[in-house]
Amino acid sequence: MRVKLKFWVAGVALAISGLLLAKLIAPLYTCQVTLELLVFIAGVILAMAGLGVILAGLRKS
Amino acid sequence: MNIPIWELFQGFYTLFTAEPAVSITRIALILLGAVFVYFGSKKILEGLIMIPMGIAMIAVNAGTMFIRAGQAGNLFVDPLIADSNTLINLLQINFLQPIFNFTLSNGLIPCLIFMGIGAITDIDFMIARPFTSLMLAVAAEFGTIFTFPIALAWGFNPGQAASIAIVGGADGPMVLFTSLTLARDLLVPIAVIAYVYLALVYAVYPYLIKNLIPRKIQGTTMDLHSIPKVNKTEKLIFVVLATAVLCILFPVAAPLFASFFVGVAIKEGNLLRHFEFLSGPLLYGSTFFLGFVLGALLTAETILDGSVWKLLILGCVALLLSGLGGLAGGMIAYKVSKGKINPLIGIAGVSCVPSTAKVAQSCAFKANKRAMILPFAMGVNVAGVITTAIVAGLYMTSIPMISQWLAGG
C-alpha cells in the first residue's frame, strides 16, 4: 500500500509541476515565442509523465 | 407544355451539361461507392463506415438535378453555406443539412463517438504495461508529427498542416475535431480523405507488417498473466485526475477529453444502462450518420478542389509514417525486452480503435496460432487514442504560437 501511495504522490506532484510550467511559467515568455513553446511542451511532457507514474502505481494493485 | 424528354431524367442529363471533368468524376465516384459497399460487406474495409458512405456517394452523385436557373445541385447537403438566410432555407430542403450543421460542423458527432469509444475502452490493458504502451503510442505519432513540416513546406498554413497531419493518428473523430478548430475551409476534403484512409488501414497495414517484420518475430507470444486486476475506485480516481490535467493543459480539446473520459468513467462506475446506451445506440448511431453524411459530401466538386490531391498524398504519407513509427517502436521494445514483447503491438499505437489492434492480432495469429497479443495491443491502442488527443490538443493550443514563430515573431 505504501509503495502505491508513493507512486500516487510522485505522479500527482509531477502532473501539477507540469501544469504550472505549461500554464503559469510558459505565458511569462510571450515575447520570446520559441522559449514559450519549449516551456509549454516541457510542461506537457512533465504532466504526461505524472499520469504515467500514476498508471505504473495502479499496476501494483 | 414543351418539356424536352431528357430533362425528365436530370440525373443522367446533368452528366452532359456539366464540364467533362465533373461528369467523369461523378461516374468514378458512383463506381467507387459501389466498391466501398462491396468491400465493406466483405469486411475487407470497415463496413460500419464504408457501407453507409458508399450508398450516400452513389446517391448524391447519381441524384444531381437542376435546382435553380439551370444550376446543378442535390437534395442532400450543402457544406459551404455561409449566409444565414440561405442556411435556414436549406435546412428545410436538404435532408442531411440539419445533421451536417447541428452535429458535424459543430464537432458534436466526434464527441458522441468519443463517448462510445471511452465506454468500450478497457484501461486495464494499458495499466499492464503503462510506459511501454505510452512509448509505443508516441512512436506511432511519427506521422502526426512529421507530416506537419512536410505540409507546411508544401504551402499549407499551420492550421491546415496540423489538420492533415492528424490523419496520421488514424482517429477519425480527432481529425474532424482538429479540422473544425484549425482549418474549417478544408473540413470536408480532410474528413473524407481521413475516413477513406482509415478504412484502408485494414488492407494496407498487414502488408507493411508482412514486408518489414520477420515471420518468426511476428509470432512472438506474450505473458497474459502480467495483466493486473486494478481496483475500480483507483481507476476512477485516475480518470478524474487525467480529465482535469488534460483539460487544464488543452482547453481547446477539452470537449474530446471530457467525452472520452466520461465514457471510461461510466464503464468503470458500473452504470449499466448508460454504458449500454453509449456503447450501443450512441456509438453506432453516430458512426452510421457520420459515414452517411461524409458519403453525401463526397461530390465531384469536393474531389476536384485543387488542394485535394495534395491532401490525398499527405494523408497517405501521415498514415504510412505512423505505421512505420509504430513498427520501429515495436522492434525497439522487442529488442529491449529481449523478445518478451511482440513488435506488432507497436502498430496498434496508430489509434484506430480497435482496427489496428485487430490487425496486429490477426498477423500474429497467422504467424503463430498460440500468439495472443490482443490485450496488449489494445493497451497500446488506448494509449494511442490518448497520445493522438494530446498531439491534437498540442496543435490546437500551440498553432497561434507556431504561426507567430513562423512569421518571425
pLDDT tens per residue, range B95-134: 999 999 999 888 899 899 999 999 998 888 888 788 889 8
d(CA A38, CA B388): 19
Compute the average pLDDT of residues B4-26.
Answer: 80
Same-domain pairing of B249 and B388: yes
pLDDT band at B271 (very low <50, low <70, confident <90, very high): very high
Please name the amino acid found at residue B37: V
Handedness of CA A22, A27, A31, A33 (dihedral sign): positive
pLDDT band at B321 (very low <50, low <70, confident <90, very high): very high
On whether residue B13 sits in a domain, the answer given is yes
Contacts of B273 by beta carbon, 8 Å cutoff, 6+ apart: none
Question: Which of A31, A5, A53, A24 has its CA nearest to residue B249?
Answer: A24
Same-domain pairing of B141 and B233: yes
Q: A19 at the B interface (CB within 8 A)?
A: yes
d(CA B350, CA B175): 13
Same-domain pairing of B189 and B268: yes
Compute the average pLDDT of residues B281-289.
Answer: 94
Of B76, B97, B124, the domain-final residue: B76
Question: Which of B320, B334, B324, B318 has its CA nearest to residue B132?
Answer: B334
Which of B134-148, B215-229, B385-399 is modeled with the greatest confidence? B134-148
**Residue listed under C-alpha cell 479540422:** B179
d(CA B204, CA B139): 19
Mean pLDDT score across all residues of chain B: 88
Q: B130 at the A interface (CB within 8 A)?
A: yes
Considering only residues B293 and B70, tell me which one the structure prediction assigns the higher pLDDT: B293
pLDDT of residue B197: 78
Same-domain pairing of B59 and B145: no
Same-domain pairing of B359 and B213: yes
Same-domain pairing of B385 and B275: yes
On whether residue B85 sits in a domain, the answer given is no
On whether residue B299 sits in a domain, the answer given is no
Q: B241 at the A interface (CB within 8 A)?
A: yes
Same-domain pairing of B18 and B147: no
Same-domain pairing of B44 and B150: no
pLDDT in tens, B177-220: 899 889 888 888 888 888 877 766 777 889 999 999 999 999 99
Task: Answer whether residue B323 shows pLDDT above 80.
Answer: yes
Q: B397 at the A interface (CB within 8 A)?
A: yes
pLDDT of residue A55: 86
On whether residue B10 sits in a domain, the answer given is yes
Subunit contact A51:B245, Cβ cutoff 8 A: yes
pLDDT of residue B347: 92
Same-domain pairing of B34 and B148: no
On whether residue B91 sits in a domain, the answer given is no
Same-domain pairing of B283 and B170: yes
Compute the average pLDDT of residues B289-309.
Answer: 87
Which of B182-191, B222-231, B361-370, B396-405 is modeled with the greatest confidence? B361-370
Cell digits for B202?
485494414
pLDDT over 90, % of chain B: 45
Residue-number span of the structural domain to which B24 is assigned: 1-76
Same-domain pairing of B204 and B334: yes
For chain B, how many structural domains are there in total?
Answer: 2
- CB-nearest partner of B238 from A23, A36, A58: A58
Cα–Cα distance list, B265 to B269, B273, B351, B378, B399 (Å): 6, 13, 20, 18, 31
